[in-house]
Structure 1
Amino acid sequence: MIRKVSLLQLCSVEHYAPLLYGYLLCVAFLEEKAYGVPTTPPEKLTQGCSPELLHLRSHRHFHVLCRSQPAIAVAAYEGMQDAMNQCKEQMRFQLWDCSQIITVLQDPPILRLGTRESAYLWALSSAGAAWGVATACSQGWLPDCSCSGRDELKQNWEWGGCSYGVQFGIITSRKLLTRSTTSRSPLRKLEKHNLKAGRLAVKKTLISSCKCHGVSGSCDQKTCWKKTAPLSTIVQHITNKMHKARRLPDANSPAKNAELVYMEDSPDPCRSIRITNRVCNWRNETSSQGDCGLLCCGRGSKVSHELISYQCDCQFVWCCHLKCNTCLRHRWVSTCN
């Protein structure tokens, strides 16, 4: 079967990129624009907050922002969701893999514990919110976010683009997720610390981008700006921090701002999470990652057969269409009992 798919359809929010991260990849592919030049915003940003966000009570600032500046609230929320999906991808070979978590805004039970995992979730959410807002700002999708560069010259280059969007995203993340409470409970102190560590992860992974303005492609003059790294890079940075997280004897113990901290041991994942139907690797002789014996907690696994259809042999047809065949492939899938 041969189909024609336009590039705009391929990169639409519905088809190729249901999440903000995927949509941005498509934008970069379709049109090469300087950082800070407006592009068409995804539909989610123009529709306003969902009922879930509008009726949120656990984080009052989210609720307020949804009514005054909904596009910013949605950008932050989508960034948090994308961070959770990145977690599921990067932790897929671990017993605990974020699969039970939809969003920290729902106050899942795991956040009532001062564990390594809860520290990780707070940092991820904080970084995701900052990344989502900074990225939307840099694309010109947020009317309340100014995205003009500085005119300050330095030797043969100048700062431009949308470095401002990064700081705007970090400030927004802090305001949205840091609870305005007078509670001095150890959990609240850990939460606040790990939220800050997540925002710092966005700063630590910033990358410089430059555009040359010289004659005939030379780089005698260039404009440079700071921008957020891909979300996968930020999440990997935080994942590394989680593996090195430091246990504190109490919430008042000193800790570096950039490190994740926790106070109590994690519960046994085999008792605290649902593993039925989790995909694993059966008889993996080359790597122990994702081994069914580990991920299924000794409860055994089953193997099933799947027939998967996918687009293949794609070719560009002048000028803006892809012509693809539909192919089938067989796959054996192992899942936990």
Structure 2
Amino acid sequence: MCQKNLDLMTSVVQAAKQTIDVCQEIFFEKRWNCSTILNAPKFLPDLTGGSREQAFVYSLAAGSLAQTIAKACSSGLTSKCGCAQIPTEPAPGNFRWGGCGDDVKFGVAFSRQFTDQTESRRKKRSKDVLMNVHNAHVGRKMLADSIAPICKCHGVSGSCSVKTCFKSLPALKVVAVMLQNRYSAAVEMGDNAAGISALQTTGSKKSSRSLSKRVASTDRLVFSSISPDYCLPDPSLGSVGTQGRECDKDSTGSSGCRSMCCGRGYVSEIVVQTFKCNCKYYWCCEVKCKVCRKLVEVHKCR
């Protein structure tokens, strides 16, 4: 598939990179901070054992791929697709449809083929296979549902003589935050995957399709194994622990030292931080800044 779509491989790489960046950004203040995603493709058990974290990463990655491909279409980076079809519903207000909308339909189709093919090649229709396929579907659906009109005015000297709208996908972080809410409310598959062991022995395609349909009947993320607390290093669970992680001694949330350090306490130190300051704009077209320093107190888990 890669060889047949060489012009889209740059977008695939971009999707992988932004999946890593966004995942680590929104879990920055959590015990599990998405750091193990950097081990790809050799994931640790936190991303292979059926956890909530695995559910989130699979859904985010599938949505990310659909987004980058859809935007590659509207940017003219490939000949395999182009602008999205003109919407059938009326444009907002007194605007009309124009411009070049993101081809989310092609992006979702490509993402489904690219991500789900790997799972479908597995010999056993295990619980995790169904889980991964379902969660990837949720990520793509969340992305597709988030597309929204962007309206602009065009005209001479700032006039609004031409008013056009096109549909555009948001930044991946917008979708990631929605998926993070579903991560918190994820459902353990449990009986939803009843009969999987029988499917593995009988190889019944009909039963497999029926089971997949039941599991995919919800747009909630699903997981098959309970996550550890990620407090201490445990390679068998994919936990790297929180020792040395920075925390906020005044926070009562997940970033607070009480939660982050799991009751082990923390050490404090004064460090020098450098930052840009007193920035000035010089015509044309340069911004020059000074480098300032300040002392800050940093707290790290024991």
Report TM bin, short chain.
0.7 to 0.9
Matched, 1:177 2:115: yes
| Partner residue in 2 for 1:19 | none
Higher CA-based Rg: 2
Measured after TM superposition, the shift of residue 222 of structure 1 is 2.2
| TM-score normalised according to structure 2 size | 0.78
Q: What is the percentage of aligned positions where both structures have the same residue?
A: 30
Farther-moved stretch of structure 1 (197-206 vs 93-102): 93-102
What is the distance in 2 between the residues matched to 1:103 and 1:229? 27
Structure 1 position 304 matched with structure 2 position 269 = yes
Moved more, 169-178 or 98-107: 98-107
How far apart are residue 256 of structure 1 and its match? 3.3
Change (3 A) 1:177 1:163: same
Aligned residues: 270
Q: Deviations over 1:13-67 (max 9, x none)?
A: xxxxxxxxxxxxxxxxxxxxxxxxxxxxxxxxxxxxxxxxxxxxxxxxxxx42x4
Which residue type is aligned with residue 125 of structure 1?
A: A
Is structure 2 residue 211 aligned with structure 1 residue 211? no
Query: Structure 1's 227 and 236: CA in aligned 2 closer, same or farther, altered over 3 A?
Result: same
Q: Provide the residue aligned with 1:236 in structure 2.
A: 177
Pick from 196, 202, 214 the counterpart of residue 137 of structure 2: 196
TM-score by length of 1: 0.71
Q: 1:191 is matched by which residue type in structure 2?
A: N
2:226 alignment partner AA: D
Aligned to 1:167: 105
In the alignment, structure 1 residue 85 sits paired with structure 2 residue 46: no
Distance 1:129 1:152 in 2: 23
Contact 2:258/2:265 (<8 A) preserved? yes
Aligned pairs (5 A) from 1:60-209: 64-65=1-2, 67-102=3-38, 105-140=41-76, 142-148=77-83, 156-178=94-116, 179=118, 180-181=120-121, 182-209=123-150
Shift of 1:111: 3.1
Q: Distance in 2 between matches of 1:169 and 1:106?
A: 26
SS of alignment partner, residue 270 of structure 1: coil
RMSD of the alignment, in Å? 2.7
Higher deviation after alignment, 264-273 or 144-153: 144-153
Give, in angstroms, the shift of residue 304 of structure 1.
2.3
Q: Are 2:238 and 1:277 equivalent residues in the alignment? A: no
Taking a change above 3 Å as real, the CA distance of residues 309 and 68 of structure 1, as seen in their structure-2 partners, is farther
Kept in 1: contact 2:97–2:166 (CA 8 A): yes
